[in-house]
Amino acid sequence: MREAAPQADLLRTHEVAKRYGSVVALRSASLAVAPGEIHALLGANGAGKSTLVKILSGVVGGDAGTVNVHGAPVELRRPLDALEAGLGTVFQDPALVPDLTVEQNLRLTGVSPERVRGWLAHMEVDVPDLDTLVKRIPLPILRLLDLARALAHEPELLMLDEITAALPGDYVDTVFGVMREWRAQGHSVLFITHRLGEVLEVCDRATVLRDGADVATVTPSEGDERTLVEAMLGEGAPTRTAGHRERDGAPEGPVVLEARGLTARTALKGCSLELRAGEILGVVGLEGQGQERLFDVLSGDRPFEGGELRVEGRPVKPRSPYDMIRRGVVLVPADRLHALLPQRSLRENLASALYNTVGSWLTPVRGERPAVEGTIERLEIDTRAQRQVRRLSGGNQQKVAVGRWLAAGFRTLLCFDPTRGIDIGTKEQIYRLLRELADDGAAILYYASEFTEAPVICDRIIVVYDGAVVTELDPAEADEATLLNAAHGLEENVT
Amino acid sequence: MTTATDERAGSSATTPGVRLQRWLRRHGWTIGVWLLLLAFILWYATLIPAFGEFQIASIARNSLPTVYLALAQSVVVIAGGIDLGIGALMVLANSASARLMEDQGFAMTLAIAVGVVLGAALLNALVGLLIAVSEIPDVVVTLGMLFVYSGLALLVLPSPGGGTSPGLRFLFTGSETGVGTNYWMPILMLALPTALLAWWMTRSRRGLSLYAIGSDLGAAYLSGVSIRRAKVVSYAVAGGFAGLAGIALTTLANSGDPRFINALNALLASLAAVVLGGIVLGGGVGSVVGAVAAGIILFTLNPILTAMGIDPNTTQVVRGVLIVLVMMVAGLLEWRRRRAE
C-alpha cells in the first residue's frame, strides 16, 4: 500500500466541508501530513480546527471532500474506523467516562491496560493505579491518560486537539517529549494549539485554517509568530495594543478588596493581597499553588478558616457566592460552561445575573433588553448561534461569561484564566475590554496560566507559591524567565 | 482542584489496606443497604414468636417480582434513562403468561415463560429504539408505554384469572402450592439473576457501555460507544427482567391480574428501590446489587408493621419516610465529606 501510493503523504484531506444547520464550520479544508513530521494545525477559534479533527477521528461525518491515508481513500463513519485507519486522537474534551474507573474505561475501549501503564511509566506520570474513578483524577493527569490511551492504539498519526491547554508547564514538556519520540519512530503528529511558542518549539510544519478553509502551510522556523498570527487573522492583524499602559498620572484608586493572611486547609497558607479600583492585578503561579482556592475563597464559593477578607474596608465572611456578588465581587471562571446556562439562549444568559437584582417576586425586570443589547454590541459577540450558548465558540462563550456581569453591574471582577483555549483575536478583545473596565474604575484580579499573558495586560503582578503570595513584580520587568523563577519560589531580587 | 497533590502522592502506593478502604468507600451505599436489610430482618425476627424457614421463604418468594423489577429499572436508570412503562410490562407479562399457561404441563409452561421473557425484552427493545432514534425524552415515551402495555394486558386477560403449572411454581417459589418452608429455591432465583446482571454490568464491555452513556454521553461517544445500541440494550434487558417479574407473579398467585393499579404500584416500587439502592437518577452511578436489597426492604416493611400491630395502611407512609430519611442521611454524609475536603 505504502509503496503503491502516488504520493508520500501519510494523510491527505481534500476540500473537506462540514456544516451544522446553517452554521458552516468547515468550508474547504485541505491538509497533508507527511510521515515522520509534527504538523501544527492553527487557526482562530471557529476556524474549523476542531471540526476537522472530529471528521478525521470519525466523530462527525463530513459533508464533502475526501480523506486519504497512504493514498487510499478511507471512510470515517465511526471512531473505530479512524482507529483502524491508523488515526488516533486526543480530543479537546476529556474522553474518559467520569463514573467509571480508568481500568473500566480502558476495557470499554478495548485497550490493554499494560500498554497504557507502560506509556504512563514512560512519561514518568505517577498514576500506576488504574483502579481509580476518573472523576477523582485531576484534569492534567486525565489529559495524559487520554494521551496514553491514544498511544496504546499505536496510531500512525496522532492527533492532539489542544492537549496543552489544560497542562502545567512540566507536563507540556512531557507531551513534547512523547511527540518527538513518536516522530523519531517514523510516525506523525497533528498538533492543535493556540500557543504559538509551542508551534515554533516543536512543529516541523504548520497548516493555518481561517474561516473554515486552509489559507497557508508554512514552516514555522522560517516565519516568526507574527506571520502565523497574520495568517490566522487575515490581513490587517491588530498589533498587541492591549499592552500595559502606564497611567498618565492618574491617582491610585482606593483598595476595594483586601485579603490578609487567608488560610484554607492545606491550599492557602496565609495569603495576602490588596486590589485597588482601576487596576488589573495579575496573579501568576505554577499549577496547584493555591491560586484556584484563592479565587474560590474570594468569590465566596469556598470558606476560609483564618485571616481576614475585606470588601471596601468592611470585613466579610461570605457563606456563598451570593454574599460576594451582593458586594459587587464577581467571578469569571476558566470553565465557561460551568458558569453559564449552556442550553439557554445568549440573551437569557446575559440577563441571568440581572435577576439577582429583582427586589420583589412580582416586580418585572426593568431595563433588561437595553442592558443585554448594549452588552452584545460592546463585546462584539457573534450572535449566529445565539439560541443555545453551548453552541457558541469558546471565545464567544467567555465573552458571555464576562458580559453577564457587565449587564448586571459589578465593582470587582475576578478572572480565573479566562482566556484558556481562546484564540488570539478574541483574547485581544477580552484584554481590551478588561482595560476599559479598569479605566472606568473597576478592580480586576486576573490569573492566567500562560505566563506571557500577565505582563501584557496587568498593572501589577503578584506571584503565588505554596499557598501564599511570595512576591510582587513590575510588569515592565517581568519577562518569562523572571516569572518562572519567581513562580518556582526561587530567590530573585526584583522587588 | 486542591486534592490534586494528594491524589498524585496517594496514588503511587496501593497497599491491600488502601484497596479495601477504597472498595468499602466505593460500595459503601450498597453495603449500607444490605446491612439495613439485615437489621430489618433481625428486627422482624424479634417481633414475632417463631421466626424460621417459613418466614425466610415467604420474604424471599414474595419479594421476587419487586426485585426483578428493581433490577429492570436499575439498568435503564444507570444508562441515563427512566422507564415508566416497566410496571405495566410486568402486568402484561403476568396476564399473558397466566392465560397461556393455564392447564399446561411443566415443559410447556417453561417454554412459555422463556417466550414471554424474550417477548418482553423485544417489546421494550423497540421502545428503546424509538427513544434512541427519535430523541424524545425517555419519560415521555415510556409514559405512553405505561398505557399501551396496560391496555394490552386487559386485552389479553380481561379479568383476573388463568394459572400455571405446579412445576413452574416450584421453580420460582420452592413449592408446588406456593406456600412452604423451602427457601433455597426463591433465594437462588433472587441471587442468580442478580449476580449475573451485576457481573455483566461491571465487567463486560457492553455492560460498561450502559454506565458510560449514563455518566457522560460525550465521553462515551468519543470512546467509541454506540449510543443508540447501548440505549436499546438497556431497555431490552429491562424488558426481559420485567417479563421475569411477570412470570414470578404468575407463579406466586397461580393467576394473572391485569388491573392498572398493579402496574402503578409496581412502577413506583421499582423507582423507590432504585433510589434507595443508591442508583443516581440521571445515570452512571450505582450498583444493581444495592437495588435488590432496597427492593426486599420495601417489601419487608409489610410483615414488620403487621407484626407490630400497626394498621397496614401506614406502610405507605413508613415507606415514604424511610426513603426520604435514607436520602437525607446520605446527603449529610456527602456534605460532611465535601467539607472535610
Report whether pLDDT(A493) > 50. no
Q: Are A54 and A44 contacting, i.e. CB atoms less than 8 angstroms apart? A: no
CA distance A399 to A406: 10
In this structure, is residue A248 part of a structural domain?
Answer: no
Q: Which of A55, A51, A33 is nearest to A43 (CA)?
A: A51
How would you classify the pairing of strands A306-311 and A314-315? antiparallel
**C-alpha distance from B77 to closest chain A C-alpha (Å):** 14
In this structure, is residue A495 part of a structural domain?
Answer: no
Length of chain B, please?
A: 341
In this structure, is residue A493 part of a structural domain?
Answer: no
Chain A window 32-71: which residues touch B at a Cβ cutoff of 8 Å? 59
CA distance A252 to A274: 12
Total domains present in chain A = 2
- Do A474 and A404 share a structural domain? yes
Q: Are A198 and A44 contacting, i.e. CB atoms less than 8 angstroms apart? A: no
Per-residue pLDDT of chain B (341 residues; tens, 9 = 90+): 333 333 333 444 567 888 888 888 888 889 999 999 999 999 999 988 888 888 899 999 999 999 999 999 999 999 999 999 999 999 999 999 999 999 999 999 999 999 999 999 999 999 999 999 998 999 999 999 999 999 999 999 999 999 999 999 999 998 888 788 889 999 999 999 999 999 999 999 999 999 999 999 989 988 888 899 999 999 999 999 999 999 999 999 999 999 999 999 999 999 999 999 999 888 899 999 999 999 999 888 888 888 888 887 788 888 888 888 888 887 888 788 777 76
Nearest to A100 among B11, B215, B224 (CB): B215
Q: Do A100 and B212 touch (CB under 8 A)?
A: yes
* Listed residues A233, A266, A296: the one ending a domain: A233
How would you classify the pairing of strands A213-218 and A468-473? unpaired
| A233-262 core/surface letters (b: 16 or more CB in 10 A; e: else) | beeebeeeebebeeeeeeeebebbbbbeeb
- Do A15 and A85 share a structural domain? yes
CA distance B194 to B288: 7
At A219, list the grid cell. 514552516
CA distance A129 to A140: 16
Q: Do A97 and B219 touch (CB under 8 A)?
A: yes
**C-alpha distance from B285 to closest chain A C-alpha (Å):** 6
pLDDT, chain A, mean? 82
CA distance A159 to A40: 10
pLDDT interval class at A46 (50, 70, 90): low
In this structure, is residue A1 part of a structural domain?
Answer: no
CA–CA–CA angle A108, A110, A113 (5° rounding): 95
Tell me whether B5 touches chain A (CB under 8 Å): yes
Report whether pLDDT(A360) > 60. no
Tell me whether B29 touches chain A (CB under 8 Å): no
At B94, list the grid cell. 403476568
- Let me know if B21 is exposed, middle or buried by CB neighbors in 10 A (0-12, 13-18, 19+): exposed
Nearest to B4 among A109, A131, A138 (CB): A138
Residues of chain A in contact with residue B199, where contact means CB-CB under 8 angstroms, are none
Q: Do A83 and B224 touch (CB under 8 A)?
A: yes
Residues of chain B in contact with residue A335, where contact means CB-CB under 8 angstroms, are none
Interface probe for B, chosen from A107, A108, A130 (most Cβ of B below 10 Å), is: A108
The per-residue pLDDT for range A279-297, each reduced to its tens digit, is: 899 998 877 788 889 999 9
Q: Which of A420, A396, A417 is nearest to A346 (CA)?
A: A396
Q: Are B3 and A267 contacting, i.e. CB atoms less than 8 angstroms apart? A: no
Sequence-ordered list of residues with C-beta below 8 angstroms from that of A200, at least 6 positions apart, any chain: A220, A221, A224, A225
Residues of chain B in contact with residue A79, where contact means CB-CB under 8 angstroms, are 221-224
Q: Do B215 and A110 touch (CB under 8 A)?
A: no
In chain B, where are the structural domains located?
31-40+58-340
Tell me whether A83 touches chain B (CB under 8 Å): yes
CA distance B22 to B28: 9
Sequence-ordered list of residues with C-beta below 8 angstroms from that of B217, at least 6 positions apart, any chain: B80, B227
CA distance A125 to B42: 50
pTM reported for the whole predicted model: 0.75
pLDDT interval class at A22 (50, 70, 90): low
Phi, psi of A289 (to 5 degrees): -100, 10
| Contact pairs from chain A to chain B, CB under 8 Å | 100
- Do A290 and A191 share a structural domain? no
- CA torsion B120-B123-B125-B127 (nearest 10°) is -130
Q: Are A420 and A166 contacting, i.e. CB atoms less than 8 angstroms apart? A: yes
- Do A295 and A185 share a structural domain? no
In this structure, is residue A207 part of a structural domain?
Answer: yes
- Helices and strands: H and E segment counts in chain B: 16, 0
Q: Are B80 and B218 contacting, i.e. CB atoms less than 8 angstroms apart? A: no
Q: How high is the pLDDT of residue A222?
A: 60
Tell me whether A107 touches chain B (CB under 8 Å): yes
Complex prediction ipTM: 0.82
- Do A418 and A352 share a structural domain? yes
CA distance B132 to B228: 5
- Do A305 and A159 share a structural domain? no
Least confident of A111-120, A484-493, B239-248: A484-493
Residues of chain B in contact with residue A93, where contact means CB-CB under 8 angstroms, are 218-219, 222
Q: Which of B100, B86, B109, B107 is nearest to B266 (CA)?
A: B86
Q: How high is the pLDDT of residue A421?
A: 67
Sequence-ordered list of residues with C-beta below 8 angstroms from that of B321, at least 6 positions apart, any chain: none
Tell me whether A96 touches chain B (CB under 8 Å): yes
Residues of chain A in contact with residue B2, where contact means CB-CB under 8 angstroms, are 265-267, 288, 290, 292-293
Tell me whether A461 touches chain B (CB under 8 Å): no
Phi, psi of A441 (to 5 degrees): 110, 5
Q: Are A407 and A419 contacting, i.e. CB atoms less than 8 angstroms apart? A: no
- Do A277 and A226 share a structural domain? no
Nearest to A292 among B2, B209, B341 (CB): B2
CA distance A444 to A331: 10
Q: Do A100 and B14 touch (CB under 8 A)?
A: no
What is the distance, to the nearest Å, from the Cα of residue B156 to the centroid of all Cα atoms in its chain?
25
pLDDT interval class at A246 (50, 70, 90): low
CA distance A270 to B10: 25
Nearest to A105 among B2, B19, B223 (CB): B223
pLDDT interval class at A6 (50, 70, 90): very low
pLDDT above 90 covers what percent of chain A? 25
Q: Is residue A65 left, alpha or beta, with left meaning phi > 0 and alpha meaning psi from -120 to 50?
A: left
Averaged pLDDT, A120-139: 82
User: Does B29 or A450 have the greater pLDDT score?
Assistant: B29
In CATH, what number is assigned to the domain containing residue A21? 3.40.50.300
Residues of chain B in contact with residue A136, where contact means CB-CB under 8 angstroms, are 3, 7
CA distance B29 to A70: 53
Residue B273: other Cβ atoms inside 10 A: 30
Q: Do A96 and B202 touch (CB under 8 A)?
A: no
**C-alpha distance from B68 to closest chain A C-alpha (Å):** 25
Q: Do A129 and B14 touch (CB under 8 A)?
A: yes
Handedness of CA B25, B31, B35, B40 (dihedral sign): positive
Q: How high is the pLDDT of residue B6?
A: 38
Sequence-ordered list of residues with C-beta below 8 angstroms from that of A232, at least 6 positions apart, any chain: A42, A43, A44, A47, A208, A210, A423, A424, A425
CA distance B79 to B69: 16
* Listed residues A183, A199, A233: the one ending a domain: A233
Report whether pLDDT(A348) > 90. no
* Listed residues A183, A202, A233: the one ending a domain: A233
Q: Are A139 and A335 contacting, i.e. CB atoms less than 8 angstroms apart? A: no
Q: Which of A153, A155, A148, A143 is nearest to A120 (CA)?
A: A148
Tell me whether B77 touches chain A (CB under 8 Å): no
Searching chain A, which residue's CA lies closest to the CA of residue B8?
A126
| H or E segment to which residue A273 belongs | strand A268-276
pLDDT interval class at A236 (50, 70, 90): very low
In this structure, is residue A276 part of a structural domain?
Answer: yes
In this structure, is residue A243 part of a structural domain?
Answer: no
End-to-end CA distance of chain A: 63
Tell me whether A265 touches chain B (CB under 8 Å): yes
What is the distance, to the nearest Å, from the Cα of residue B26 to the centroid of all Cα atoms in its chain?
20
Nearest to A292 among B1, B212, B220 (CB): B1
Beta strands in A34-156 (DSSP E): 38-42, 64-69, 72-73, 87-90
CA distance B13 to B34: 31
CA distance A406 to A389: 17
Interface probe for A, chosen from B3, B18, B203, B223 (most Cβ of A below 10 Å), is: B223
Q: Which of A352, A454, A463 is nearest to A401 (CA)?
A: A352
Q: Are B300 and B44 contacting, i.e. CB atoms less than 8 angstroms apart? A: yes
In this structure, is residue A249 part of a structural domain?
Answer: no
Tell me whether B200 touches chain A (CB under 8 Å): no
Tell me whether A338 touches chain B (CB under 8 Å): no
**C-alpha distance from A305 to closest chain B C-alpha (Å):** 12
**C-alpha distance from A41 to closest chain B C-alpha (Å):** 20
Tell me whether B14 touches chain A (CB under 8 Å): yes
Q: Which domain holds residue A270?
A: 255-487
